[in-house]
Amino acid sequence: MGKKTSLKDMPSFSQNENKNDSDNWSNNSQILPGPSSLPFIGNLHQIRDPMHIAFNQMSTKYGPIFKIKLGPQVYAIINDDKIVDDLVIRGGAIYFSSSSHYIPKETLPRDSEIAPYGTYWRTMHSLTRRAITRYIVNTHYQNIIHREVRNFMYRLYQTSSGPTDPTDDLKICILNVLATITYGSRSELTAPTFKRFYNSLAESYSMDANSKITGAFPWLSRTPSSVRKHKSRELKARKRLTDTAKELIVDLQQRVTTEKERQHCFAAQILRSIRKNNDRGITVQQLYEEIDHQTFDEYDSLHLIAMFLFGGTGAVTCQQRWIFAQLSYLPKEQYKIQRELYSLIGQGNYPSPKDYARLPYLRAVIRECLRFRPLGYFTVPHAIPVDDVYRGYHIPAKSTMLVNTNPLHFSSALWDRPKRFIPERFLDANGQLKQFKNDWEDPWVWCKGPQGCIGKELAERMLCTIVAYTLTYFTIQREIDPKTGQPFELNMKGEAYGLDLSAPSNFNLKFVPRAGIKFDELLRVDL
């Protein structure tokens, strides 16, 4: 197809029109444009990393929405904000389900991440949202965040004599925050079990690539090859994950039952909601054995908590690494944040929950960091269970919709000078954080609409706290090249493979202590 199909050129055909008349799919609608595909592999031979750039290039030829095939699976790729608004945000229930075609159900039976939209999906999302509201973050989780971030600052200070890669210490900080928030205990009794749980979780998720391959190419699962052996190892890893998570949940249940003071951790919130809404009167063991019943139970909470803990650690760590990398190029913006912090809370102090609303410039810089270098360039894939028509184009049932956020973040129609780092674009005329009328005018790091990230409030609070603490105690600089006397360049293109998380490489920075900060008193600050 030589001519680009623009949004304006698309036929004016009402969305969802003639949905009950199957004959009209061929008579009244067109096939989505896209490159020709090959048997078995689809368009895999035409896609190169970074995938978001490949899709940008395809969009210039095939238009703002086009289709590709990865193996037998059809993908509808969206590169336009108006189409995103029509389908992702306002498209209705048929666009709310997450894609699960590549995940073997015997290894991950039920999970809100892959559940189709319906009562079960709404139950899981409702329980999760109630467990991490802004009020709960402010009242029960804020001190946990401050304690772990403060410990992270002390570790940065210990390595501040030279350039360092903060990734490992940062990951420990975020993992400790989420672990404490998740299970509410860092006792010696639960620590070994939790370590086994996290190792099992990492092992299980590391096998997902093979699961996606066998899901995309089902015939591979029937071949007497290492693929089938890998599947057996994956099932064993999932069982270890289930067993260790069950130990943690049983321990937490005992604390919830005998609690002298109310447990406010994420898992306890979920368990209390289950008890309130599920009056079945059976034991925990029965709940684990009765996998196929349709009531939300402790088994479901296992996967919900695992998704919250493991996914949250990876996502926040990647995004904070990008923020650190970008700030190392932005000394003026660092200074403005430091001035804002000093004018609000004084030198060496840390912000309380009520202070975050009064730190508009810090939050604007973080939002611009999210726009400029997000942790990933694609939203969670959305499953389309039934046939639909959009602007005259047939979107087939069982296809997967994927939003490429790179064009949304760098569209000159949405942003003034999109390739420049301008935090002020998120501030209004009074210097306060701007409230956008449309969802697509905000960074898409946490996705939008019903499939938006449930943990957005907590994730943004952690990012704000880490940046506020870091710039209170340090100035971030790049390592100096001894040959030239100039700072080394960081690889700001990042390491992104397929749909996975993106993170900067060659990541050595200097965290230079600011004058007047007494680090020997840092760990004695009351929270």
CA–CA distance, 167 with 506 (Å, rounded to integer):
11
Give CA separation, 410 vs 78, 419, 440, 452, 482, in Å. Answer: 14, 7, 12, 20, 35
CB half-sphere exposure, 179, CA atoms < 13 A: 22
What are the tokens at 14?
């009402």
CA–CA distance, 526 with 517 (Å, rounded to integer):
16
What are the tokens at 289?
């054995």
CA dihedral over 396, 402, 404, 408, signed as positive or negative: positive
DSSP string, 152-213: HHHHHHHTTTS-B--HHHHHHHHHHHHHHHHHS---TTTHHHHHHHHHHHHHHHHTHHHHHH
3-state SS record for 321-386? HHHHHHHCCCHHHHHHHHHHHHHHHCCCCCCCHHHHHHCHHHHHHHHHHHHHCCCCCECCCEEECC
What are the tokens at 264?
């406010």
Residue in 87, 69, 90 with CA at minimum distance from that of residue 78? 87
Residue in 455, 454, 451, 475 with CA at minimum distance from that of residue 463? 455
Q: How many helices (H) and strands (E) does the chain have?
A: 18, 11
Angle between helix 167-183 and 191-206 (nearest 10) = 110
**Residue where the block lists tokens 């898409």:** 444
CA–CA distance, 364 with 443 (Å, rounded to integer):
11
Q: H-type helices in 259-297, by residue range?
A: 266-277, 284-289
User: How many Cβ atoms sit within 10 Å of the Cβ of residue 388?
Assistant: 25
The answer to the question of whether 318 is labelled as a binding residue is no
CA–CA distance, 316 with 465 (Å, rounded to integer):
12
Query: Residue 434: which residues within 8 A CB-CB, separation 6 or more?
Result: 425, 426, 427, 428
By the 8 A CB rule, do 268 and 251 touch? no
For residue 331, is the peptide bond before it cis, meaning its omega torsion is within 30 degrees of 0? no
Binding residues for heme: 453
Binding residues: 453
